[in-house]
Structure 1
Amino acid sequence: MTNHTTEWSCAETSTLWTLYLNNSMSVCVLRYFLETVEDQQIREIIAKAYDVASTNESELKAVFWKGKHPLPIAFSENDINLKAPRLFSDEFQLSYILQMAKIGMATYSASLSAVFIKDIRTLFTTFLERTIEILDITTDLLLERGIYIKKPYTVIPDRAYLVEDKKYFSGLNPLVNKRTLNTIEVTHLSMNIETNQIGMLLCTAFSQTAVSSDVREFMVKAKQLAHSHIKAFVDLLLKDDIQAPMAADYSVTASHIPPFSDKLMMFHNSLMIAAGIGNYATAFSASQRTDLAIKYEKLSSESALLAKSGADIMVNNRWMEKPPSTADRKQLSQERE
């Protein structure tokens, strides 16, 4: 009879730890959204997303207790101010949930593929199914309201074509005309415009409500970087006379009262940067023009440098939790001497 161990490997340990932090943060953000949202239909979706994040957090907590693993510190009521005035428009909150659902789907899928323990695989599958439902109902309402950011439309080809020349991949040689973007490349450029638009508005809100001057300055830099990346992607589309996707009338109020702790805002920003770098890596591998690949590599480097400066702020303020680590065998050996 096969012995299916229930001892966690590094995959179970790392994915459970990461997902607990992410859901703990989401509970705080969505709880605040529930206090400020005005539109009833949007409120229902926020409430659904909040219930999902809360349930996920509780189920993850039970797994940690059952496995006798220490629970991450994560976030609590100390990281949220429910009395803070409205900071985001209802439409932004709805689009935010869509973007976070996309990040959640990518994270849960990757986590599911990494683990082997049956109960944890079942749990992650449930998380993924719940997130897909949130994505579906959010997309439906955004479409109904006419504020869903659609990808550009392209001409339908009359037949299938083969790549006839290696010039198809050229993008750097000034003596060779660049081919027009293909639909795969347009899709990734559009998606990265969308995610940066959400990130830029988040940084705008965080920059005007953060308590620490270091955090405020960091959020301004993050906002400026997101703006420059949006411009880079839009320019690439416009060169081929392709209309770039534009955000709806999302807005941030003029409030300076922070609904979230600086710790939570910095963690949230680091999560968005990590997701953005992941999106760039996917776009890099899917883009067949060399200039696009190099562009994604450059923008990824800029994002990584920003992430490093953010991590330094978090470490200096004792806001960054250390992921579970492997044993330091050298240190253990020295302790025996």
Structure 2
Amino acid sequence: MSQSNIKLTSSEIASLWTSYLNNCMSKQVLTHMIQYVKDREIADVIRFAFRFAQKQGKRFETVFQKDEFAIPLGFSEADVNTKAPALFTDSFCLAYINHMAKAGLLAYGGFLAMSTREDLIAFFHHGLHYTSKLYHLSTSILEKKGLLVCAPYTSIPKEMDYIDNKKYLSGYSLFHKKRPLNAVEVSHLYMNTQTNNMGLKITMAFAQTTTNKKVQAYMLRGRDISQKYLKIFTDTLMNEGIQNPNSSDIGVTNSTVRTFSDKLMMFHIGLLSAAGVGNYAMAGGASQRSDLLLNYERLSMEIGQYAKDGADLMIKNKWLEQPPPTK
């Protein structure tokens, strides 16, 4: 059968729909950032990301037209106030793009793995390739400007061995000390400190610029959750004598002018919350010490409830777009 006659699978429909919404949202955020960035090198990174989002949007439309796929509502220029003053510092913009590029690498890798039609394999491979370039570029500029935050350094293994005692898995005991964290566990704790630090800054920015009291309360609740989780992960590292690298000096301005629509802000936080649930599930699966596993399970439930409450608020205000139905 000709590739042009092969119908889209449910996985491909879901991947196209999800990635289109994410791309639309990113484009509007970048539209604001590109207006006010002053640093020339950071501006180049933002322009690279913006041009990719623009071109990717056109490539989406080509696929949708070919397959008679109704274009999702997504986001438009109406979701960003181009007259609002700068909401983010230059360093935040750079760190934000680096963070979202990491998320994009995971997303595009997943979409690629769920695709079987040749044109869509090429489509998502293209997205993965350019997201990889964006990650490399933003990481290089972060390092050049002294803003790159690296994971904690641990000793390099000189020999390998097998676990010979079930105590290795124990995180709670009155009779013996917990074993030291291993490198895999440290890597996930570090990653989750960084994602929560980014979530903290974004919820603060959104809380101070919305005029909707319920949205503001939701953002402030998200800020508090991020602060709490950040302390949990940092304290876990510190209790093991592992210094968590300080986050780079990134932040938001003191602007209180509405910058993005409530719909876009709620969608963005929903995206971060979903990523958080995935991060904690992955970290829990990779962590062998029982106290860490239980912690991740508890946090997953809490952030899952937060995401659910956000979805309820979006539905109430008719902001939540319905995914493609199966019939």
- TM-score strictly above 0.5: yes
Question: Deviations along 1:267-301, whole A, 9 cap, x unmatched?
Answer: 00000111111111111111111111111111011
CA contact (8 A) 1:203 1:220 kept: yes
In structure 2, what is the Cα distance between the partners aligned to 1:63 and 1:323? 17
Q: CA deviation at 1:43?
A: 0.2
Equivalence for 2:19: 19
CA contact (8 A) 2:32 2:86 kept: no
Answer yes or no: is 1:125 the counterpart of 2:92.
Answer: no
Equivalence for 2:162: 162
In structure 1, what is the Cα distance between the partners aligned to 2:242 and 2:40? 36
| 1:50-61 to 2 correspondences below 5 Å | 50-61=50-61
CA contact (8 A) 1:20 1:61 kept: no
Q: CA deviation at 1:60?
A: 0.7
- Alpha carbons of structure 1 residues 158 and 261: separation in structure 2 relative to 1, 3 Å: same
In structure 1, what is the Cα distance between the partners aligned to 2:306 and 2:36? 31
Question: Deviations along 1:121-152, whole A, 9 cap, x unmatched?
Answer: 10000000000000001101111111111100
Q: CA deviation at 1:3?
A: 5.8
Q: CA deviation at 1:158?
A: 3.1
Equivalence for 2:260: 260
In structure 2, what is the Cα distance between the partners aligned to 1:155 and 1:55? 44
Equivalence for 1:187: 187
CA contact (8 A) 1:64 1:70 kept: yes
In structure 2, what is the Cα distance between the partners aligned to 1:43 and 1:80? 19
CA contact (8 A) 1:205 1:252 kept: yes
Question: Deviations along 1:234-292, whole A, 9 cap, x unmatched?
Answer: 11101110001221111211111021111000000000111111111111111111111
In structure 1, what is the Cα distance between the partners aligned to 2:150 and 2:270? 26
In structure 2, what is the Cα distance between the partners aligned to 1:38 and 1:258? 21
Answer yes or no: is 1:89 the counterpart of 2:89.
Answer: yes
Which ranges of structure 1 fall in alignment gaps of 5 or more residues? 328-337
The letter for the 2-side match of 1:7 is K
Question: Deviations along 1:136-174, whole A, 9 cap, x unmatched?
Answer: 011011111111111001122332232121111111223
Higher mean C-alpha deviation, range 68-77 or range 167-176: 167-176
In structure 2, what is the Cα distance between the partners aligned to 1:316 and 1:247? 36
Aligned length: 326
In structure 2, what is the Cα distance between the partners aligned to 1:47 and 1:174? 56
Equivalence for 1:278: 278
Answer yes or no: is 1:296 the counterpart of 2:293.
Answer: no
In structure 2, what is the Cα distance between the partners aligned to 1:53 and 1:197? 25
Which ranges of structure 2 fall in alignment gaps of 5 or more residues? none
CA contact (8 A) 2:64 2:71 kept: yes
CA contact (8 A) 1:208 1:256 kept: yes
Higher mean C-alpha deviation, range 77-86 or range 5-14: 5-14
Equivalence for 1:217: 217
In structure 2, what is the Cα distance between the partners aligned to 1:56 and 1:285? 34
| 1:114-153 to 2 correspondences below 5 Å | 114-153=114-153
Moved over 3 A (4+): 2-5
Q: CA deviation at 1:76?
A: 0.5
Equivalence for 1:105: 105
In structure 1, what is the Cα distance between the partners aligned to 2:41 and 2:13? 38
In structure 1, what is the Cα distance between the partners aligned to 2:257 and 2:199? 20
Give the superposed CA RMSD. Answer: 1.0
In structure 2, what is the Cα distance between the partners aligned to 1:259 and 1:149? 28
Question: Deviations along 1:36-69, whole A, 9 cap, x unmatched?
Answer: 1110100000000001111111111111111101
Tell me the secondary structure at the aligned position of residue 17 of structure 2: helix
In structure 2, what is the Cα distance between the partners aligned to 1:158 and 1:123? 43
Higher mean C-alpha deviation, range 215-224 or range 284-293: 284-293
- Structure-1-length-normalised TM-score: 0.95
Question: Deviations along 1:298-318, whole A, 9 cap, x unmatched?
Answer: 101110010011101100110
In structure 1, what is the Cα distance between the partners aligned to 2:286 and 2:34? 38
CA contact (8 A) 1:190 1:244 kept: yes
In structure 1, what is the Cα distance between the partners aligned to 2:86 and 2:107? 29
CA contact (8 A) 1:87 1:252 kept: yes
Question: Deviations along 1:70-93, whole A, 9 cap, x unmatched?
Answer: 110000010011111011110011
In structure 1, what is the Cα distance between the partners aligned to 2:16 and 2:157? 45
CA contact (8 A) 2:204 2:219 kept: yes
Answer yes or no: is 1:80 the counterpart of 2:80.
Answer: yes
- Structure-2-length-normalised TM-score: 0.98
Equivalence for 2:172: 172
Tell me the secondary structure at the aligned position of residue 95 of structure 2: helix
